[in-house]
Structure 1
Amino acid sequence: MDPKPDHGETSYRGSGRLAGRKALITGGDSGIGRAAAIAYAREGADVAINYFPSEEPDAREVIQLITEAGRKGIAIPGDLRDEAFCQRLVAEAVQGLGGLDIVVCNAARQQAKPSILDITTEDFDATMKTNIYAPFWIIKAALPHLQPGSCIIGTTSEQAYDPSPDLYDYAQTKAATMNYVKSLAKQLGPKGIRVNGVAPGPVRLNSRDIWLWSAHHRPRTAPCPASGSSGTGADRWVDLPLRAPPPAERDHPDRARRCLPPPRRSTLRQSPTPKRAGISAQMIPI
């Protein structure tokens, strides 16, 4: 791919913020998942990644980067549209890592179709199974292993509240992601388990460009990609297992000045946080 996406392979420097943590990341071979896996390892976490079997070469690169960081890396290929595999995925991650602290439900299926008439039932079902069913199955399987202080992270999108006309099925799943994050945050907060959603900016995946947001919709708090690269904002996936950045940090003028003009006010960023102690349900555009 030209230019080659920057997942932090040579640029990310860790500081031990996730020392001793054990993370499972779906879609860990490329894009956001790859960047998060690299960042987690360099912050001191052991990482298990899931990916579609056809992406084995990319996944092996990620595992090598994790081990080079001095951490344990586990590759678990498989199809998330299968409930039995999702259960096995969690079991293998727990066994291989010796536990589980962080679950990142990042893998998603996106197809652009100009009309609803162009979407087959098979396509629609595949998107729903990947984007909605899989996190449900994975979180259910992981929850018995998560202790207080653990974190569940979902990857959502501006598509949740401002859907593009050609992303009919994908946009629905991102609205569902936003709401399962908020619901689970209220449910699991009293147990000391935080649930957060991250809405990313433009991201490039594999051999084709997938821009999750057009340039004029890039969120004001997004780290701007360097010239010739596409950023993935991995710092936000690292911050979340520790804390949700306060508004003063998210909206710092130094961050805003580095990016394009802000879009209209985001309903995701302004979603109220439940007031009960330990609950974190805000959505954080990056």
Structure 2
Amino acid sequence: MYKKLVLLALSFCLLSGESALAFHSNYSPMAPRQLSYKASHADYSYGLTILPGNSIDSIEGFNRNLPWQTNYYVLDRYILRPVAHGYAMLPQFSRTGIHNFIGNVGELNNTVNNLFLGNFADSGISVSRFAINSTIGILGLFDVATPMGIERREMSFDTVQGRAGADSGAYLMIPGMGPSTERALHGTVVDAWPTYFVSFPISLAFNAISVIDTRAGLIPQEEMIDNSVDPYAQVRTAYLQYHEGKVNPNAAMENKKDENVEEFLDEID
């Protein structure tokens, strides 16, 4: 009896020691998947699932409640979605003009952000697009540059940070704004600089139109999100994968290839 108690106590100590070691080290046997970190990379996941862009949903409980409930079940359902569908009923000519105008203002960000990455050629192309579309294209309502072979070189400050080595950080669901991350939030503030030079009413109107135009572009995704088992997780994954694809386009292509292979194997299985 005494020996059994001793063996039981030793077993408990060994298990406790292994659990403590797993908790305090970068390796966790209970983690959903294992990632290799550089020695200088701190493990801040605390056992949470690592999402695309090394993001973690550390406040998922909060994100799923007030922010998600407000955005998905109130603001989007009763305001943004009806307005976006009404906007989509405008003549294609009008919607294209609005979309082009918004994109032309975005060339200012493309110019600066490409400079940050040392992409001087792309920055010059963005300047050329802005100059051509603002003049010949009548304030950007017409995209004259693209038919001339001057393609858009889109670059956000969020992508700049990502390519500089910054992880996405915590995933955020912001009331009235939607999905974001710590890194993307910083990028949004920086990329808003062109509107700092105009009056508040003009800035507000421009941002409102931009939101409606973007939301209208997401209409084809509504059915997929609404019919998913977990709309919150569906939006989170789509958002993070999209932005990670901007930072690591090659990795995104590899993931797409893997998905195609899996689909093919499923078909022949």
Q: TM-score range by the shorter chain?
A: under 0.3
Q: Counting helix residues as a fraction of each chain, which structure ranks higher?
A: 2
Q: Of the two, which has the highest radius of gyration? A: 2
With a CA cutoff of 8 Å and minimum separation of 6, indicate the structure with the bigger relative contact order: 2
Normalised by the size of structure 2, how large is the TM-score? 0.25
TM-score where L is the length of structure 1: 0.24
The structure whose residues are more often strand, as a share, is 1
